[in-house]
Structure 1
Amino acid sequence: MSQKQELTDVLMVGATGTIGQLAVHAAQRHGLRPRALVRDIQRAAQQLPDVDLVQGDLEDPASLRSAVRGADAIVFTHGSGGDPRPDAREHIDYGGVRNVLSVLGAARPRVALMTSVYSTRSDVPNASLWKRRSERLLRASGLPYTIVRPGWFDHAGPTQRRLVLEQGGTADGGIASDQIAETLVRSLLTDTALGKTFELIAAEGEEPSDWNGLFDPLKADGPYSLDGALDPADLPFEAEPARLRADLDTVRSLNTSGA
């Protein structure tokens, strides 16, 4: 594993969720200093004692400016699960990434984004395009990133500890929540994970010991490409709603201007 010594402060988006809390603990184990973005400081303090908390709302970009300040890295584990609004996925899964990127200014943190094993599966009922669209924003930003698409949370047996990383959107299976969290944090610390998008499931076998070797065989995404390296070409930019094309153009302009 190749660790960047200058990477210290990590903003955790979705820190009070199941994966988020595990990612906070994983970051601590690896010597990082997690900072949890939360809406309710008092409630979060009970879930994440001894963790730096910063208040902010993913739907309010202005509230995020102080949260992102000084962050060397960002881990996104947020999700709209439990939100009854019919447009919650757009506002949270997608809008949360858009809003955080919009307030970074000239900062260039390393990013680990958790989406879904079904991000590109239009054939799967209830699969959401909004996670795939959030991935596109991150790629367009030009930031150093890794995108992790985990399978079904905790649908893995106790002896299924071997991580399987695939590309192309055909993977299906389960994985333990702690394995997802560990992979997200390891991706921040491992050079061979940079610029890559992959599906993540678990199989029978032991925990990985060589994280460089685990990430290395994966194909890197093209520079500023919309989709992952082996993603299906079935969501053309030109067919997207005008507001989403505008979001991508805005993220690209922030990247080129450093504004």
Structure 2
Amino acid sequence: MALVCSSTLSSILSLQSHHLLLDSQTSTTPFRSSFLFINTDNSFSLVCHAKKKLTFFDQILDYIEGGPKLRKWYGAPDLLPKDDTNTQDEEDDYPEDEIRDAVLVTDGDSEMGQMVILSLIVKPTRIKALVKDKRAALEAFGTYVESMTGDTSDNRFLKKALRGVRTIICPNVWFSFQCWSLQGVQHIILLSQLSVYSGKSGIQSMMKSNAKKLAEQDESVLKSSGIPYTIIRTGAFQDTAGGNQGFTFDQGCAASGSISKEDAAFVCVQALDCVPQSGFIFEVANGQNQVSDWKQCLTALMEKPNQ
């Protein structure tokens, strides 16, 4: 039986990790690789089969599912400490100078919430998520995400959920936090479809009137919170693969355009690196513009008048 030395295995794992990061930065969709053959002379050959193209989010899901197995096989430590569901609640009073390095995703078990989490996993950041089913979230994301279940109207639970959180991402039109309970949070990102609802007319306008009122209410609450915020008004959501189209940020594009759900989640995560001094609102839909530097792009939009 041919043996592969530990240095070769390390090289393989390093290559896999590097390949994942490269894939997330390219617009092309890679193919699924297949078999690693170990030859009798201790060399190896990698054979790829282009049977099915994978979307970016498919790759992340494969990485989540395969990563723990590979680490276990080759004796590497877990990326994050395992979640201990039996840990007792910690003290309610937290130090004012605590390190805030986490991103909290609200409604983390919704479709859009899961897409935001998948985009966050490839960033070097600590992820927390509010979910309805903690067990399902643990099975889906493992130790990559600190999933929390509880009543957000309960001040004790809310303080625990917000511990160490610097940014909150609200992937749906849903903002139930009370302003007085957000002390220490530095940035809130809200994904809004207010422009889509406002652009409807006739029967469609009547059908979407309640959703429009909720969107207006959520944006109003966020604006009055006193916390730096980013409101991303997107075009109508489409169930298409992300990364295949460019973007447009023209005024009115959200009301008349559309955007892949995966792309909308991706834009939310890019907004993490561009924190406004007070408030920042912009529109986005799929278009022809290819963005190579998101921080530069969003900073330019922020500096435009009437933004």
Secondary structure of the residue aligned to 1:57 is coil
**Structure 1 match to 2:265:** 181
**Structure 1 match to 2:255:** 171
**Structure 2 match to 1:242:** none
For 2:293 and 2:180, how far apart are their aligned partners in 1? Answer: 35
Secondary structure of the residue aligned to 1:99 is coil
122-131 vs 171-180, which moves further: 122-131
**Structure 1 match to 2:104:** 11
128-137 vs 208-217, which moves further: 208-217
**Structure 2 match to 1:44:** 137
Q: 2:121 aligns with which of 16, 23, 28?
A: 28
Q: Given the superposition, is the C-alpha separation of residues 163 and 38 from structure 1 closer, same or farther in structure 2, using an over 3 Å criterion?
A: same
TM-score when normalising by structure 1: 0.66
Q: Given the superposition, is the C-alpha separation of residues 57 and 220 from structure 1 closer, same or farther in structure 2, using an over 3 Å criterion?
A: farther
**Structure 2 match to 1:108:** 185
**Structure 1 match to 2:150:** 56
**Structure 2 match to 1:196:** 280
For 2:272 and 2:103, how far apart are their aligned partners in 1? Answer: 10
- RCO comparison, higher one (Cα < 8 Å, 6+): 1
For 1:151 and 1:12, how far apart are their aligned partners in 2? Answer: 21
TM-score when normalising by structure 2: 0.56
**Structure 2 match to 1:238:** none
User: In the alignment, is the contact (CA less than 8 A) between 1:38 and 1:54 conserved in 2?
Assistant: yes
Deviation of 1:39 after TM superposition, in Å, equals 2.2
Secondary structure of the residue aligned to 2:177 is helix
**Structure 1 match to 2:196:** 118
User: In the alignment, is the contact (CA less than 8 A) between 1:146 and 1:193 conserved in 2?
Assistant: no
Secondary structure of the residue aligned to 1:166 is coil
Max Rg structure: 2
Q: Given the superposition, is the C-alpha separation of residues 157 and 184 from structure 1 closer, same or farther in structure 2, using an over 3 Å criterion?
A: closer
Q: 2:297 aligns with which of 197, 205, 214?
A: 214
For 2:156 and 2:256, how far apart are their aligned partners in 1? Answer: 38
For 1:221 and 1:7, how far apart are their aligned partners in 2? Answer: 30
Deviation of 1:118 after TM superposition, in Å, equals 2.4
Secondary structure of the residue aligned to 1:153 is strand
For 2:217 and 2:239, how far apart are their aligned partners in 1? Answer: 26
Aligned residues: 201
User: In the alignment, is the contact (CA less than 8 A) between 2:168 and 2:189 conserved in 1?
Assistant: yes
**Structure 2 match to 1:137:** 221
44-53 vs 121-130, which moves further: 121-130
Deviation of 1:9 after TM superposition, in Å, equals 0.4
Q: Given the superposition, is the C-alpha separation of residues 167 and 142 from structure 1 closer, same or farther in structure 2, using an over 3 Å criterion?
A: farther
Letter in 1 for 2:128: R
Q: Given the superposition, is the C-alpha separation of residues 170 and 44 from structure 1 closer, same or farther in structure 2, using an over 3 Å criterion?
A: closer
The runs of 5 or more residues in structure 2 that have no matched partner are 1-98
1:27-77, Cα deviation, whole Å (9 max, x unpaired): 221211110111221122233322211112346555423111221110001
Deviation of 1:219 after TM superposition, in Å, equals 5.2
Letter in 1 for 2:159: R
1:57-110, Cα deviation, whole Å (9 max, x unpaired): 34655542311122111000135xxxxxxxxxxxxx3xxx24254422x32331
1:172-214, Cα deviation, whole Å (9 max, x unpaired): 22111221111111111125797211222101454x1121332
Q: Given the superposition, is the C-alpha separation of residues 119 and 71 from structure 1 closer, same or farther in structure 2, using an over 3 Å criterion?
A: farther
**Structure 2 match to 1:75:** 169
Letter in 1 for 2:298: F
Give runs of aligned pairs for residues 237-252 of structure 1, distance below 5 A: none
Secondary structure of the residue aligned to 1:114 is strand
User: In the alignment, is the contact (CA less than 8 A) between 1:165 and 1:199 conserved in 2?
Assistant: yes
**Structure 2 match to 1:243:** none
Q: Given the superposition, is the C-alpha separation of residues 121 and 193 from structure 1 closer, same or farther in structure 2, using an over 3 Å criterion?
A: farther
For 1:159 and 1:115, how far apart are their aligned partners in 2? Answer: 20
For 1:201 and 1:189, how far apart are their aligned partners in 2? Answer: 20
37-46 vs 176-185, which moves further: 37-46
Q: Given the superposition, is the C-alpha separation of residues 177 and 170 from structure 1 closer, same or farther in structure 2, using an over 3 Å criterion?
A: closer
**Structure 2 match to 1:154:** 238
